Structure 1
């Protein structure tokens, strides 16, 4: 009987150890992606864009079309990230739920033609909401915060409600990466609560093991081409990566095309699952 008890205890020990190991394996952080081994050529068949990915744990950076990744272009609606940070910080809006009322003017997209909050304006990229908020912020405060964050070329001379829309303000994909890393790490010179709110309204997708944050931007057609952005970060099993995609497209709004390419790359390397 004593021998049987010892055998049973040994078996129980191994069973408990096995279950514990199984549970531990489910909560382990994702195996780090070797960013140096990334290949994205198939997503840019005409070399018409750039993609940058930074592993925030290792500090390694991958860039496709490195020269384009250094070039500054108008941020277009990706500036809504910065505009939201400044607007919340200076109390131009009190929170993500503050409503601005539609003025009745019919605009490009149907979902713009209604009242919006800061959160819904980020999700639907509502230009008029952010133009109103920029006017409430004012040139002095806007310039101060762009300078404090070293955001692109910091040039707002194109007008307080236009400077980011294919106008005077320019930023490169590499500069987007630096800015977004600061937002993810909450090291930008804004209140922590402000940064947490903006990150929350940037959420695009959530899975069991990942959260994707991002914002598109589009220039509109010029000489038959639109320039599109998709920038943000993805956190998978606690492991963060920051990304910036910029490309040219014959579509009227190239932002969705940039998002599609980005999602394709992230899926290829199992950083998102849908």
Structure 2
């Protein structure tokens, strides 16, 4: 009986000692943002993460976990896949305008991968998606772990109010992987896409981002990306019942409110 007790005590000591050697990982700090007034009564969410400290700011946590169609924010992933599969050579690869008049004047001309990102030219990225092909697209959307990974809505439509859906939390993780260059994409292509995402460049910060809007009714707007300052890098994703331009405006105001952007 004593022997059994000794063995039990020995086992407990070994387990306790082993447990003590396992480092306890620090939980991510999550701070609820009080920015309801910036959304002006419209339903929306924002997630912002500091990549140096893992500090996360969230407004409307419940919505941040809900998946929505990415709309033109998928151009980021689309560009990565297009470069990786050689559907386009580089950021200067030109596609000729087909002469069809579209709703935005900037779309009615020839474009490159970079200008197509800058002006959110849907037809350019639709043509590139067709060149990528269904098999390649499905494979890389899965490898990128992009949202629900469902491209069944059609090779040139699945991200536009269709089958592909992603949450703000998942967008932030995707952008973090892009910034950290841990995606299964060649380094040169990661750097190219990060470069063509630049929206604003000042002495104190560089803003990389992409808007997205559901053009049929402007019932969904996105702004996702990251900002580099001398104090660190923050990734972000905002979505709301509105336009992408409004989502961008709200994001910038929040970045100012929490002193990431200094006025």
Q: Place the TM-score, normalised by the shorter chain, in its bin.
A: 0.7 to 0.9
Question: For the Cα contact (< 8 Å) 2:200–2:207, is it kept in 1?
Answer: yes
Question: For the Cα contact (< 8 Å) 2:33–2:58, is it kept in 1?
Answer: no
Which residue among 232, 237, 241 is the counterpart of 1:248?
A: 241
Matches within 5 A, 1:50-89: 50-89=45-84
State the alpha-carbon separation in 1 of the partners of residues 190 and 86 from structure 2: 14
State the alpha-carbon separation in 2 of the partners of residues 111 and 239 from structure 1: 34
TM-score relative to the length of structure 1: 0.83
State the alpha-carbon separation in 2 of the partners of residues 150 and 123 from structure 1: 25
1:9 maps to what in 2? none
State the alpha-carbon separation in 1 of the partners of residues 124 and 216 from structure 2: 22
1:234 maps to what in 2? 227
State whether structure 2 residue 132 is matched by structure 1 residue 158: no
Question: For the Cα contact (< 8 Å) 1:165–1:219, is it kept in 2?
Answer: yes
Residue by residue, what CA displacement relative to the aligned partner does 1:190-236 show, whole Å, maximum 9, x if unpaired? 000000000000001111121110000001244xx520000000011
TM-score relative to the length of structure 2: 0.86
Question: For the Cα contact (< 8 Å) 1:230–1:245, is it kept in 2?
Answer: yes
State the alpha-carbon separation in 2 of the partners of residues 97 and 273 from structure 1: 34
- List gaps (5 residues or longer) in structure 1: 1-33
**Runs of 4 or more consecutive aligned structure 1 residues displaced over 3 Å after TM superposition:** none
RMSD (Å) for aligned C-alpha atoms: 1.5
2:173 maps to what in 1? 178
State the alpha-carbon separation in 1 of the partners of residues 30 and 116 from structure 2: 33
- List gaps (5 residues or longer) in structure 2: 1-28
Question: For the Cα contact (< 8 Å) 1:143–1:154, is it kept in 2?
Answer: yes
Q: Label 1:37 to 1:131 Cα distance change in 2 as closer, same or farther (>3 A).
A: closer
1:16 maps to what in 2? none
Question: For the Cα contact (< 8 Å) 1:210–1:271, is it kept in 2?
Answer: no
Matches within 5 A, 1:100-249: 100-222=95-217, 226-249=219-242
Question: For the Cα contact (< 8 Å) 2:147–2:167, is it kept in 1?
Answer: yes
Residue by residue, what CA displacement relative to the aligned partner does 1:133-170 show, whole Å, maximum 9, x if unpaired? 00000000000001111100000100000000000000
